């Protein structure tokens, strides 16, 4: 990530910053090289430091009650307003329209990661033109001529390729992947991440594609193309791939492409012990898979689990550590608590994999 920032930004979370739906904002607070985040707009969390609310680490990013409140005290408006929420179905709520129009009147461009596009609203398009602002729909599909079919070029990549896959959605796959890159770099390794979602793009990762904005026929090819391009241009020691949804989540059974099409050398699995059912589908009989069965499925796909990262939402530290000890015993794999302890415990297996590929 060595290109210039796009500019300054505030992140809108509409009373959802402290909920799972605010995961785009959470990723941006934890780090982005594309934007300099100035504030979060959320009337329920007003007056706090966004980092402190998120994970107890102050980051000097205030939470304000409204865009007008921020503009009243700011020396100049931000360059961008980022919609930092994952709404149900990716719809753009009508109640957000007054905020979007206020931003455009102030000359602030809007970054949208939802499935519903800002550029489909003629009034917003006209206002953006009038006030010299941009409407950026991150999930807008690429033109057909820019898409790639799988070609087999993945086998030219000589470094380990490690997908970070979850047993469910919204468990911290992207955050864990980012932390793994940072830990590897701190250990002197050249590490990169392939983004596969809108937040990864917003964070400024150089290589990747938007998985759920890509026609199914081209998912494997776009994945391969991003990895091969990353390898050829950077020559990293290891490449991590951000997972999407989960292998067995019935609303989004993703992951097989990451294992098969990228010829995965190993997998880091992320699991939330505090959940029993898939997020948002608690009223249905589908239960979250146990890490043991998920590791068995990963092995059937031809990859080897390297370790387990735990999402500790809803657990006390003592409860999280009890699960950590239990899974280490059951899986005979390293188990880490990324937010509480970091991911350094996974490095020995990753370094061994790198050494094995070099020999």
Say which CATH number the domain at 84 has: 3.40.50.720
pLDDT of residue 175: 97
Residue 222 to residues 62, 160, 272, 328: CA-CA distances in angstroms? 37, 18, 29, 35
Considering the domain architecture, whether residues 131 and 211 belong to the same structural domain is answered as: no
Q: pTM higher than 0.85 for the full model?
A: yes
Final residue of a domain: which of 100, 118, 137?
137
Final residue of a domain: which of 116, 137, 158?
137
Final residue of a domain: which of 137, 169, 197?
137
- Give 94-100 contacts, CB < 8 A, sequence gap 24+: 96/12, 96/14, 99/12, 99/67, 100/124
Q: Is residue 75 domain-resident?
A: yes
Rounded average pLDDT per 10-residue block, the chain, 359 residues: 78 95 96 97 97 96 97 96 92 96 98 97 98 98 96 97 96 97 98 97 97 95 98 98 94 90 97 95 93 97 97 97 98 97 97 88
Q: Is residue 1 domain-resident?
A: no
pLDDT of residue 356: 87
Which residues, at least 6 apart from 69, have a Cβ–Cβ distance to it below 8 Å? 46
Considering the domain architecture, whether residues 233 and 94 belong to the same structural domain is answered as: no
What secondary structure letter does DSSP report for 250? T
Considering the domain architecture, whether residues 127 and 161 belong to the same structural domain is answered as: no
CB-side neighbour CA atoms (13 Å) of 194: 31
First-to-final CA distance of the chain: 28
Considering the domain architecture, whether residues 118 and 186 belong to the same structural domain is answered as: no
44: Cα separation from own chain's centroid: 24
Considering the domain architecture, whether residues 203 and 339 belong to the same structural domain is answered as: yes
Considering the domain architecture, whether residues 170 and 312 belong to the same structural domain is answered as: yes
Q: Residue 308: which CATH number?
A: 3.40.50.300
Q: Is residue 21 domain-resident?
A: yes
Nearest to 86 by CA among 19, 165, 140, 166: 19
pLDDT of residue 1: 46
Q: Is residue 2 domain-resident?
A: no
As given in the structure block, the two tokens for residue 200 are 């990864």
Considering the domain architecture, whether residues 109 and 166 belong to the same structural domain is answered as: no
In total, how many domains does the chain have? Answer: 2
Considering the domain architecture, whether residues 49 and 107 belong to the same structural domain is answered as: yes
Q: Is residue 249 domain-resident?
A: yes
pLDDT of residue 3: 55
Burial category of 65 from C-beta neighbours within 10 Å (exposed 0-12, middle 13-18, buried 19 and up): middle
Q: Is residue 278 domain-resident?
A: yes
Considering the domain architecture, whether residues 169 and 198 belong to the same structural domain is answered as: yes
Q: Show the domain range for 125.
A: 7-137
Q: Is residue 143 domain-resident?
A: no
Considering the domain architecture, whether residues 165 and 282 belong to the same structural domain is answered as: yes
């Amino acid at each position: 990530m060595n290109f210039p920032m796009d500019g300054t930004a505030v992140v809108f979370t509409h009373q959802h910053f402290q909920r799972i739906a605010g995961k785009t904002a959470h990723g941006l607070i934890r780090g982005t090289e594309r934007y300099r985040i100035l504030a979060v707009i959320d009337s329920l969390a007003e007056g706090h430091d966004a980092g402190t609310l998120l994970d107890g680490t102050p980051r000097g990013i205030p939470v304000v009650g409204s865009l007008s409140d921020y503009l009243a005290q700011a020396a100049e408006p931000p360059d961008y307003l980022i919609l930092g929420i994952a709404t149900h179905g990716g719809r753009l709520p009508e109640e957000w329209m007054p905020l979007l129009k206020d931003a455009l009147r102030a000359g602030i461009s809007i970054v949208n990661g939802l499935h519903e596009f800002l550029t489909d609203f003629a009034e917003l398009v006209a206002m953006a033109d009038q006030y010299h602002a941009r409407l950026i729909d991150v999930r807008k599909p690429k033109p057909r001529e820019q898409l790639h079919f799988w070609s087999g070029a993945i086998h030219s990549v000589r470094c380990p390729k490690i997908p970070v896959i979850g047993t469910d959605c919204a468990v911290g796959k992207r955050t864990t992947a980012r932390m793994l890159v940072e830990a590897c770099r701190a250990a002197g390794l050249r590490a990169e991440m392939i983004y596969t979602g809108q937040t990864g793009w917003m964070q400024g990762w150089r290589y990747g594609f938007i998985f759920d904005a890509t026609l199914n026929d081209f998912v494997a090819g776009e994945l391969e193309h991003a990895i091969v391009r990353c390898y050829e241009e950077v020559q990293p020691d290891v490449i991590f791939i951000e997972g999407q949804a989960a292998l067995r989540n019935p609303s989004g059974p993703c992951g097989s492409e990451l294992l098969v099409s990228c010829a995965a050398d190993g997998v880091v699995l992320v699991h939330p012990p505090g959940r029993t059912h898939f997020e948002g589908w608690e009223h249905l009989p589908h239960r979250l898979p146990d890490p043991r069965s998920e590791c068995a499925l990963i092995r059937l796909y031809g990859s080897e689990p390297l370790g387990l990262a735990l999402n500790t939402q809803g657990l006390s530290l003592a409860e999280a550590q009890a699960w950590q000890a239990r899974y280490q015993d059951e899986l005979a794999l390293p188990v880490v608590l990324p937010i509480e302890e970091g991911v350094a415990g996974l490095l020995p297996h990753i370094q061994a994999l790198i050494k094995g590929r070099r020999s």
